[in-house]
Amino acid sequence: MQNKKEKILVVEDDGQIRKFLQFALEQVGFTVSTAGSAQDGLSQLVTGQTDLILLDLGLPDFDGLEVIRKIREWSEIPIIVISARDQDKDKISALDQGADDYLTKPFSTVELLARIRVALRHRDRLDGHKSETSATVGELTINFGKRLVYLKGEELHTTPLEYALLSFLFKNIGRVVTTKSLLQELYGISHNDDTQALRALMAGLRRKIERNPATPRYILTEIGVGYRLVDE
């Protein structure tokens, strides 16, 4: 399935989950190494060639958020957080700390594999350093050079803010973009209180690109966290 066998490090204290994740990932052709603690995970990360980390937030020795911070000090390796924590603020701080994505337990394996692929693709794009001139999802295309959006091949009129929103989502295609980072990007404000303008902006954009804004095909809502542009 993959050209070369990509290596995934699973840092998770629960043995059963480690076992089934290893099985599931090896099934689809990844190489998997596992660690039961943050210490073990970090030392494996330093010594071996790793392409992606699946990280449980509730580790026995270190707080998962602390681990993300440590890794981000020296590495841009994709991190997907797996957590039983329900609290939105944990997810948001994990994402703000530099995690690429998160999944809440229990999660579907299909969903996990999709997220892994998105994260790896995102890394490849960054590695390629070629700034793409356009991107496409389904029938939706954005041209960064011309600052234009096309739906079903026809030019779609967007306001400058709508374009900024869409292009930011396209640059992070497949990944969750937190409300906070969107507010920062669009309005230059970092506090999380004034989400009303963003909600209204999103509703307007959805009415232009989605057939039914309540069952969106392109931009999904992650309640309490942010938005995600699907990567097909």
Partner 1 sequence: MKQKRERKKKFWHVFLFITILIGMTLVGLLFRTVGFPETNIVLLYLLGVLLISRFTGGYAYGITSSVFATGAFNYFFTEPYYTLSVYDSSYLITFAIMMATAFITSTLTSKIKMNAEIAREREAEANALYRLTSRLTDVTEISEITSTVVEMVSNLFNCQAACLVYTDLQEPENTFIQQQMKGKQIRREVQDPHALKHQIAGLRTEFNVGEEFHDWPLYGRDTILGVLRIPNSDVSFMNDSQMRLLHSMIESTALAMDRVKSVSERQRLKEEATQERYRGNLLRAISHDFRTPLSSIMGTSEMIMGVTDPGADTHMLANTIYNDAERLHSLVENILALTRLHEGKLVPEKQLEAVEEVVGAAIKAMANRLADRSVKVNIPNEILLVPMDAKLIEQVLINLLDNAVKHTQPDEEICISVVENKVEKRAEFHIADRGKGISSADLPYIFQMFFTSQSDKKEKRRGIGLGLSICESIVVAHGGTIKAGNRIDGPGAELIFTLPLQIDCLDEGETTNND
Binding site for partner 1 (CB under 8 A): 14, 16-17, 19-21, 23-24, 27, 84-86, 88, 104-110, 195-196, 199-200, 202-204, 206-207, 212-216, 220-224
Q: Looking at beta carbons only, is 104 or 134 nearer to partner 1?
A: 104
In the complex, minimum distance from the CB of residue 14 to partner 1, in angstroms, rounded to a whole number: 5
Q: Looking at beta carbons only, is 8 or 21 nearer to partner 1?
A: 21
Q: Looking at beta carbons only, is 88 or 96 nearer to partner 1?
A: 88
In the complex, minimum distance from the CB of residue 188 to partner 1, in angstroms, rounded to a whole number: 21
In the complex, minimum distance from the CB of residue 35 to partner 1, in angstroms, rounded to a whole number: 17
In the complex, minimum distance from the CB of residue 61 to partner 1, in angstroms, rounded to a whole number: 17
Q: Looking at beta carbons only, is 1 or 223 nearer to partner 1?
A: 223
CB 150, CB 156: distance < 8 Å: yes
In the complex, minimum distance from the CB of residue 107 to partner 1, in angstroms, rounded to a whole number: 6
Rounded distance, CA 47 to CA 66, Å?
20
Q: Looking at beta carbons only, is 45 or 57 nearer to partner 1?
A: 57
